[in-house]
Structure 1
Amino acid sequence: MIPAGPAAEHASIAGTFSEKVRGVAPDGWDVATPVAEWTARDVVRHLVEWFPGFLAGGSDIKLPIGPSVDEDPVAAWEHHAAAVQAVLDDPAAADTTFAHPHLPAMPLPQAIAQFYTNDVFMHTWDLARATGQDDRLDAGRCQSMFEGMEPMDEMLRQSGQYGARVPVPDDADAQAKLIGLIGRDPEWRP
């Protein structure tokens, strides 16, 4: 079970992703993933590279630049995850408003949890599945994310951030439903 609250959630979810990052074999960074045209390295690159601009676009926060994903994906991820955790652990974060031009204003911790931590959670499956690691995700979080995202199915497709929904059996578990909803085949294998 993932602890509640944006800082604790991020610590847990980023910690699990860190385990998967450290579990990639040295020669495993260029393997294909369930995300078309992405390698394992690209999963890390995506998380490390999109979020700093998003964060800066809605706040005055600039994450420190870390190691290159091309040179050392493990160090790049760990540096990035620690920087995000430091933002969430800062007591001032609770009183900071995230005001991105494309979103309604919201508390900074909520924005990080909703847009970034959830992304880390979903991409944990991609990296684990691609690299032959345990890819089980927290069932309760899968269920709540599926229930929250499913009513927005059309908007998700229009965003360009998700592939076509992959049908799963009605009796599929919450993880398979979430993975299918975000455009991955839960049966995908390297």
Structure 2
Amino acid sequence: MDNNSISSLLGAAAARAVPVVRAVREEQLGDPTPCAGYDVRELADHLFDVVVNFTRLARKQPSRFEEEPHYVGTGDWRGLFVEEVDRLVAAWGEPGAEEGTTGGMHQPARTVGTMVLLDMTVHVWDLARATGQDFTPDPAGVEVLSGVIGDLAPAARDAGMFDEPKQVATDASRFEELLAATGRDPGWQPSD
């Protein structure tokens, strides 16, 4: 399989995401995150909803994003997250997943695939940072995302999904630059 395919990139991102989600403790669910307006529970629910819907989009099916998703806190939600992420990676590896257009805005499928890769990278950093975990993103994923963030960010800002970009130091890493482009402060820490 092509190491630059969306499925391969998502597989690498998933290998880093699953341990972070599994380590979120119940008592942390109300804690703030670097993603403005979301606490840990809301962000984990949002990430879950993204995974489920981008699996549909890979299969050229309509998405059905929940206004207020409720995956977290019911049953073995961490185990279910792993199952849904596995479905996501498999769906983007199916023949034709990266071809044509998909989604309500009829965007190129590969562009849509990079959107879910962005969420699987940046939101996992959000969760890790909010819950005191270490997180190192997949370098290949960061490289791909760094190449497309300039195209994705303006529409995401217009839709209220990104804040204005943050300034970073001249020696910032590619990942810190990516975080800043989404309106995040790469140095964000939970308040004591």
TM-score scaled by length of structure 1: 0.78
User: Which structure 1 segments of 5+ residues have no match?
Assistant: none
Per-residue deviation at 1:116?
1.0
Per-residue deviation at 1:31?
1.6
Which residue matches 1:25? 25
Which residue matches 1:13? 13
Which residue matches 1:75? 79
Which residue matches 1:87? 91
User: Residue 28 of structure 2 aligns to a residue in which SS?
Assistant: coil
In 1: Cα distance, 2:157 partner to 2:63 partner: 30
Letter in 2 for 1:75: G
- Mapping for residues 36-55 of structure 1, pairs under 5 Å: 36-53=36-53
User: Residue 27 of structure 1 aligns to a residue in which SS?
Assistant: helix
Q: Structure 1 residues 81 and 55, CA, compared in 2 at 3 Å: closer, same or farther?
A: closer
Letter in 2 for 1:82: D
Q: Count residues with an aligned counterpart.
A: 181
**Matched-pair identity in %:** 22
Kept after mapping to 2: 8 A contact 1:146/1:181: no
Q: Structure 1 residues 26 and 55, CA, compared in 2 at 3 Å: closer, same or farther?
A: closer
Letter in 2 for 1:99: T
Which shows bigger deviation, 81-90 or 173-182?
81-90
Q: Structure 1 residues 56 and 95, CA, compared in 2 at 3 Å: closer, same or farther?
A: closer
Kept after mapping to 2: 8 A contact 1:6/1:112: no
User: Which structure 2 segments of 5+ residues have no match?
Assistant: 65-69
Q: Deviations over 1:58-94 (max 9, x none)?
A: 823789xxx932314413312321221232343x444
Which residue matches 1:120? 120
In 2: Cα distance, 1:102 partner to 1:28 partner: 36
Letter in 2 for 1:20: V
TM-score scaled by length of structure 2: 0.77
Kept after mapping to 1: 8 A contact 2:9/2:140: no
Q: Deviations over 1:27-55 (max 9, x none)?
A: 22222110122122222211222454466
Kept after mapping to 1: 8 A contact 2:35/2:184: yes
Letter in 2 for 1:85: V
Kept after mapping to 2: 8 A contact 1:33/1:39: yes
In 2: Cα distance, 1:134 partner to 1:147 partner: 25
In 2: Cα distance, 1:94 partner to 1:111 partner: 11
Q: Could you say what the CA RMSD is over the residues aligned between the two structures, in angstroms? A: 2.9
Per-residue deviation at 1:117?
1.9
